[in-house]
Amino acid sequence: MHRFDERRRQLLRAGTALGLGAATGMGVLRQAVAASTTPRTLIAIHLAGGNDSLNTVIPYATPAYARIRGTLAIPADSVLKLDGRTGLNPALKGLKALWDRKRVAVVHGVGYPDFDYSHFQAMEIFWTADPARSTVTGWLGRAIDTATVGTTRPDPLTGMAIGSGMQPSLIAQRFTAPQLPADPAGFWLPSVNSRHNAALEQVLQQPAAGINYLYDGFLRSAQSALGAYDQVLEAKALTPGVTYPDTAFAKSLRFATQLMRSDQDVRIVTLSQGAYDTHENQLPTHARLLGELDAGLSAFFADLDRNGLANRVLVLLWSEFSRRVLPNANAGTDHGAAQAMVLIGPGVRPAIFGTAPTLADDELVEGGNLPMQFDFRRIYAETLGGWLGIDPRPVLGASFPALDVLL
């Protein structure tokens, strides 16, 4: 059993039962967002598997890049240039268009001390915001708990995961985030008639007994989903403002937009995209994955603009690690360290933060990895405090200096 699975079981034993939230409860985080009267939403997108930052945010003007990367190097004349040193992968044309509209911030060298190269442990660190791996709850779950203190009926859609798999970053002590499918058509009660439906709802609304922790956890998850049921039906009826690509990732973003259109209390949405673990045959795989990411995000922001929601949204792109600088023998790259994080939305300060890697031998760490320039918790802290209006100190357990990534 993986260590994080055991921690989830610990949470079930430690957590209190979540009562079924009313779909029309008071705004959960409205009082927390002091900087603006406009509701704000964070969309945290996990580029699963370890995205190769060096071929995503490319130091095209660094001579060592083409020499070291060899056949994996993106030609300088194909790079979508952001400034005189740094550019984007040619598959990210939509992201480049958002950069041109001053909606993108790039942060080089994001990591933490004593980097871990295991997928599971690295993900756990980013999910919990705890490099010591001693924390049970997720950073976004703690954020929701912090913001909903004293609220007895939080909106079930305050925080949610859309797509396959609940992200442990949403694990909380009090709030239970619903797991929603990428396509709202797949969100329905498994009942054959209204009588069966009423009986099923009655079963699911029974209180957790505190005896069978696994069943109690199932009840809390089911109750959270049931509380969101009517809102999901309302959102599903809304026609998207643009045409989205026919991918699970794009459908997740379309659903997120529909939910934000129907519910102002949506604050945190987690999604996952890709399988970026490119140990072999990286170039075509990486281009395909980045193209899917780009097409989904392009449609998403076009839809937000069409519906007047763009100022409400901040997107954070993150991965559990980057890839090593030197390619392996299989035309791929192995697990690396520090990554370039990307933040997208009208509320970002459009700039490149940190220094583009020179790839000099004395710069690389641990036998050929990009060094850390910024602790990832600095970005988390600014996202919480500067965007969601939530005090980051109780969430992260310490104070972290701002990067001024947000306006």
| DSSP code at position 387 | I
* pLDDT of the residue at 241: 86
Q: Which residues pair with 313 in a beta bridge?
A: 41
| Cβ(156)–Cβ(228) below 8 Å | yes
* pLDDT of the residue at 215: 56
| Residue 382 vs residues 62, 131, 271, 385, 404: alpha-carbon distances, Å | 30, 18, 20, 5, 8
Q: Which residues pair with 106 in a beta bridge?
A: 342, 352
Q: How far apart are the first and last CA of the chain?
A: 43
Alpha-carbon distance 341 to 53, whole Å? 8
**Residue matched to tokens 């809102």:** 231
| Residue 301 vs residues 92, 162, 311: alpha-carbon distances, Å | 14, 17, 10
**Which tokens hold the place of 404?**
């001024």
| Cβ(104)–Cβ(346) below 8 Å | no
Alpha-carbon distance 19 to 155, whole Å? 11
pLDDT tens, per residue, the chain with 407 residues = 344 444 434 433 333 222 223 222 323 333 333 344 678 999 999 999 999 999 999 999 999 999 999 999 999 999 999 999 999 999 999 999 999 999 999 999 999 999 999 999 999 999 999 999 999 999 999 999 999 887 777 888 999 999 987 789 999 998 888 889 998 877 666 666 777 667 666 666 667 666 665 555 655 666 666 667 778 888 999 999 899 999 999 999 999 999 999 999 999 999 999 999 999 999 999 999 999 999 999 999 999 999 999 999 999 999 999 999 999 999 999 999 999 999 999 999 999 999 999 999 999 999 899 999 999 999 999 999 999 999 999 999 999 999 999 99
**Which tokens hold the place of 24?**
């029309």
Alpha-carbon distance 279 to 323, whole Å? 9
4 closest CA partner among 111, 126, 110? 126
Supply φ then ψ for residue 92, to 5 degrees. Answer: -105, 45
* pLDDT of the residue at 232: 85
* pLDDT of the residue at 204: 63
Alpha-carbon distance 266 to 221, whole Å? 17
* pLDDT of the residue at 189: 63
**Which tokens hold the place of 140?**
């976004």
Other C-beta atoms closer than 10 Å to the C-beta of 93 total: 14
16 closest CA partner among 126, 145, 111, 121? 145
| Cβ(319)–Cβ(335) below 8 Å | no
* pLDDT of the residue at 187: 67
Supply φ then ψ for residue 272, to 5 degrees. Answer: -135, 145
Q: How far is CA 359 from the centre of its chain?
A: 28
Other C-beta atoms closer than 10 Å to the C-beta of 278 total: 26
- Residue partners of 222: CB distance under 8 A and separation at least 6: 204
DSSP 3-state percent helix, strand, coil across the chain (nearest 5) = 40, 15, 50
| Cβ(407)–Cβ(348) below 8 Å | yes
| Cβ(124)–Cβ(8) below 8 Å | no
Total residues belonging to the chain: 407
| Cβ(138)–Cβ(172) below 8 Å | yes
**Which tokens hold the place of 160?**
């949610």
13-37 core/surface letters (b: 16 or more CB in 10 A; e: else): eebebbebbebebebbbeebbeeee
187 closest CA partner among 231, 218, 154? 231
Alpha-carbon distance 79 to 69, whole Å? 15
CA atoms within 13 A on the CB side of 17: 19
* pLDDT of the residue at 214: 58
**Residue matched to tokens 């990286």:** 282
